[in-house]
Homo-oligomer: A and B are copies of this chain.
Amino acid sequence: MSQAPTQEQAVVVDLTAVIVSIAGDQPRVLVRPRAGGDKALEALPSGPLELRHRTLEAGLRSWVTAQTGASLGYVEQLYTFGDQDRTPDHGDGRRVLSIGYLALSRAGAASMPDESVWRDWYRHFPWEDWRRGRPEVLQSLEKPIRRWVAAAKAGTERTARKERASLAFGLDGTAWSDDRVLERYELLYELGIVAEARRKSREAPSAEAKLDGQPMAADHRRILATAIARLRGKIKYRPVVFELMPPTFTFLQLQRAVETLAGVRLHKQNFRRLVAQQGLVEETGAIVAGTGGRPARELRYRQEAILERQAPGLRLRAVRGTE
């Protein structure tokens, strides 16, 4: 029974990278003009898994280096996508499996051999940037969402939709959660608001078309959403931001980086206290002028912190029994 007849699906594996960097106040992702078809749609760098690739991650790194010349530091597997109806059709009956990766790059002006470009990721997700308060798009998105909730006949289904909408978009008193990026995108996809959802059905743009952010090739916007969600979640308990920072920086620069990724504003003094007491950074001794105000102390990341933080006397004693 464990041996299937031979219905086995022929598969092509695509390694897809979401390469993130920060430029000033912009969170950026590396994209390339799409190979065939619609030139307007940009795609994430990706390439097929090949024989010579010993591991999946090695394959990804090799593709990225070849295509963009970007130097990847941190790399993490995100998710494997393989839904039949959300995947580009190869025509030959083979199924496309896309393994998404999140990669962090210290940016710099990496030499990019081809036409790759960095794009502000909020261009694709305008509702995710709360740094200057609640984005106005949300105002308009709320209407179709509520309509969708109301469209279900009262009862379990209605309740379920309501809960889903509230959690994802922070409606009815529920707080906005910065890391529910994927849930939000998926909900908009189901509502047909997102352009990608209307491709298969060749449906005309709905009235809400303008609300949608910039679409991407294939299912890449979904992969990007997954990456942002993961990064926003991770940033809260692992010192990954530093992978995106230059060797030295100031408190404010660090704070801006976090804000840029999380899409929210933070309380300056408390952020400072937090970072300082965790021992994640140390002063280089230098002073940085030209900050627009009083000069700031220059900082650098302290690798050792990771170990120390767990040392006894500091945080976590035993295990917490949450739930």
Contacts and interface: CB of A to CB of B under 8 A. Distances in A.
Interface string A22-40: 0000000000100100000
Interface of A is mostly: loop
Copies in the complex: 2
A178 interface: yes
A317 B32 CA distance: 38
B173 A311 contact: yes
Nearest to A49: B9
A53 B9 contact: yes
Contacts of A274: 321-323
Contacts of A235: 322-323
Given A4-B48, A82-B56, A262-B319, A307 B174 contact: yes
A321 B50 contact: no
Contacts of A95: 49, 51
B1 A66 contact: yes
* 10 residue pairs, one from A and one from B, having the closest CB atoms: A266-B321, A271-B321, A7-B50, A80-B80, A56-B82, A236-B322, A264-B319, A55-B83, A174-B310, A8-B48
Given A1-B67, A2-B32, A54-B84, 11 more contacts: A1-B66, A2-B67, A8-B50, A9-B51, A11-B12, A49-B95, A51-B95, A177-B310, A264-B319, A266-B318, A274-B321
